[in-house]
Amino acid sequence: MPDGPLIVQSDKTVLLEVDHPDATEARHALASFAELERAPEHVHTYRITNLGLWNARAAGVDAERVLDVLLTHSRYPVPHALLVDIDDTMGRYGRLRLENDPVHGLVMRTDDYPVLEEVLHAQKTADMFGPRIDGQTVVVHAASRGQLKQALLKLGWPAEDAAGYVDGTPYPIALTEVPQTGEVPDGAPGLGAPAAGGGAVAAGGAADVGPTEPWQLRPYQRMAVENFWAGGSGVVVLPCGAGKTLVGAGAMATAGATTLILVTNTVSARQWKAELLRRTTLTESEIGEYSGAVKEVRPVTIATYQVLTTRRGGIYPHLELVNDHDWGLIIYDEVHLLPAPIFRMTADLQARRRLGLTATLVREDGRESEVFSLIGPKRYDAPWKDIEAQGYIAPAECIEVRVELPRDERVTYAMAEDADKYRLCSTSEVKLPVVRSILERHPGEQVLVIGQYLDQLEELGELLEAPVLTGSTSVAERQRLFGAFRDGELGALVVSKVANFSIDLPEASVAVQVSGSYGSRQEEAQRLGRLLRPKQDGKSAHFYTVVSRDTLDQEYAQKRQRFLAEQGYAYTIVDAADLARP
């Protein structure tokens, strides 16, 4: 009997023995179609879901490959019923196919007549179809392309969208790759030099290298661009600090068309602009910012989610930016954070190429299926530890520091209403000296102290004599503080969740998390990601989470860590009292 690292069970859970010699190989194979649910020390639990299987199928992983992974690595015989179910479930993807017909326009075709009848008679799709052409083909209202894909996914028949895309308004965009050898790098169409690309040389972050210094597209970035372009639309998943911005720039160069980039905030918009100016042939006058402060529409326009979702009189006045321009490419930065109005807008953009960029496809609102149907399936996903092993992101040590609440705080916590418990245990003053002790362990290093509650952050800022940056901090002041931190003028910054994403702080090597958004896995990944730019001195990063023992704070911390555990990061648990010891 094989002695593999997996135990495959009939309820679609898969147990992985972490200490098995083949565990790493099995974990990487599992990640393409299964989701990590729990990750204690020795046995991790994965779950096989329909969406995970369909995502794998869309990415070119067929049922035969999935079954081979389970059969090869399983310690015990795999339940036959599960094998059949996986084969049947993956076989549902692409049974319905959206295509462009030269006579009738957008149509849906199938070789399975009963499936077509089923979806035609479903209430959810009733208004989305035009006339029937024959027993295998029906006209689809072009405006319903996105809504139909959403509805078909919910009906269990995810469609393959092969209807193609409009090219948009042509616009020349090239990257300024300068190989160290002086030779033009090979690549897919549009990826030559000057062409698509991204990334910095060696271990330096992309923001660290001047435009005239040698740099080349990293292999995984090139593959991400190629996979996206071959699929037409979809999501690229890369660790923070691995050059997602430049994967976007590579897609822009490949498209050679006007581009709309949607980002989380104004600081992120300006970082995108700076990087595009540094790495592409675009000039200042060709890149527009569309935010609360500025409304510029140019061949490449960078807009914030916030301004697009501003609502007045029941309408979204700024959505015309999306609808009234012939964009050839739309890029969604931090796609895991897309607000609901952007999903509704995206349903109408199915003829445009769409690229989602993220460090984690985890959505706490459970809307991963919306990303799949409206942006596209996952086209490329690089395990964090693989990128670390190549030297492109910094190694990181994760430490959970547990503190004991004083007796009076324990009693207050025990008697509090459920709605107040988390804030009470997260913001205990007993955490303050612990944070100071952590900073004393890392003299001369640049530290981010991150939290959820503003009064707690103000206390920490006063204790550490460090600036406090929150949502109310002006964009100009944010840029000034981030700039001073990058230049080494500031050794510590106390920040709220505004610094969770899209902030480039290459030399931050220590982060101390004092409170978070309950059990948010995506937030944990983003916060660790602030540290993963490779350091000039080659040092490892340190990510501390200060947690109140035996409370909701500890429970939520365990939930937040789940995504990073799947990426191969282990949390060391220490007692706060031990930090004071040499």
Q: pLDDT of 516-564, one tens digit each? A: 876 577 777 778 877 887 777 777 889 999 999 999 999 888 877 877 7
Domain boundary among 388, 404, 436: 388
**What tokens were used for 444?**
């001369």
User: Would you state the pLDDT for residue 382?
Assistant: 80
DSSP helix/strand/coil, 539 = coil
Say which range, 84-88, 313-317, 373-377, 503-507, has the weakest mean pLDDT: 503-507
What is the band of 4 on the pLDDT scale with cuts at 50, 70, 90? Answer: very high
Residue 184 belongs to a domain: no
DSSP assignment letter at 175? B
One domain for residues 223 and 307: yes
**What tokens were used for 311?**
């609502």
Pair 300, 259: CB distance under 8 Å: yes
Strands (E), 334-471: 353-358, 378-381, 396-403, 446-450, 468-469
One domain for residues 317 and 248: yes
**Residue 313 CB: number of other CB atoms within 10 A?**
5
User: Would you state the pLDDT for residue 212?
Assistant: 52
**Residue 173 CB: number of other CB atoms within 10 A?**
29
CA dist., res. 384 & res. 212, Å (int): 29
CA dist., res. 495 & res. 502, Å (int): 14
One domain for residues 546 and 427: yes
**What tokens were used for 425?**
């245990």
pLDDT single digits (tens) 46-68:
999 999 999 899 888 999 999 99
Calculate mean pLDDT across residues 440-467. 92
What is the band of 282 on the pLDDT scale with cuts at 50, 70, 90? Answer: very high
One domain for residues 477 and 552: yes
User: Would you state the pLDDT for residue 73?
Assistant: 96
- Mean per-residue pLDDT of the chain: 85
Residue 133 belongs to a domain: yes
Domain span at 134: 96-161
User: Would you state the pLDDT for residue 506?
Assistant: 66
One domain for residues 554 and 436: yes
User: Would you state the pLDDT for residue 80?
Assistant: 96
CA dist., res. 277 & res. 375, Å (int): 26
Element (H, E) at 573: strand 571-575
| Number of domains composing the chain | 4
**Residue carrying structure tokens 């083949």:** 22
pLDDT single digits (tens) 176-226:
877 655 444 443 334 433 333 333 323 233 433 444 566 778 999 999 999
CA dist., res. 421 & res. 221, Å (int): 44
CA dist., res. 84 & res. 456, Å (int): 53
One domain for residues 528 and 568: yes
Element (H, E) at 455: helix 454-464
**What tokens were used for 252?**
């822009």
Domain boundary among 161, 185, 216: 161
Residue 111 phi, psi (nearest 5): -95, 0
Residue 104 belongs to a domain: yes
User: Would you state the pLDDT for residue 408?
Assistant: 94
One domain for residues 422 and 365: no
Residue 180 belongs to a domain: no
Domain boundary among 388, 410, 431: 388
Q: Given its phi and psi angles, is residue 538 left (phi above 0), alpha (psi -120 to 50 degrees) or beta?
A: left
Pair 337, 501: CB distance under 8 Å: yes
51, amino acid identity: L
CA dist., res. 42 & res. 177, Å (int): 45
41, amino acid identity: E
Q: Please spell the DSSP secondary structure of 267-323, one letter per residue.
A: HHHHHHHHHHHHHBS--GGGEEEESSS-B---SEEEEEHHHHT--BTTB-GGGHHHH
Highest-confidence range of 39-48, 384-393, 398-407, by mean pLDDT? 398-407
168, amino acid identity: G
Calculate mean pLDDT across residues 280-297. 92
pTM for this entry: 0.79
Calculate mean pLDDT across residues 442-466. 92
Pair 288, 297: CB distance under 8 Å: yes
* % of the chain residues with pLDDT over 90: 50
What is the band of 497 on the pLDDT scale with cuts at 50, 70, 90? Answer: confident
Q: List the one residue out of 94, 164, 98 whose CA is nearest residue 137.
A: 98
Say which range, 297-306, 376-385, 410-419, has the weakest mean pLDDT: 376-385
Residue 170 belongs to a domain: no
Q: List the one residue out of 546, 557, 541, 556 whose CA is nearest residue 240.
A: 541
Whole-number Cα distances in Å, 540 to 239, 425, 526: 16, 30, 17
| CATH number of the domain bearing residue 369 | 3.40.50.300
**Residue 116 CB: number of other CB atoms within 10 A?**
21
pLDDT single digits (tens) 242-257:
889 999 999 999 999 9
DSSP assignment letter at 74? B
What is the band of 79 on the pLDDT scale with cuts at 50, 70, 90? Answer: very high
Name every residue whose Cβ is closer than 8 Å to that of residue 174 and which is 6 or more positions away in sequence: 194, 195, 253, 280, 281
| Dihedral in degrees, nearest 10, Cα atoms 274, 280, 286, 288 | -40
One domain for residues 57 and 122: no
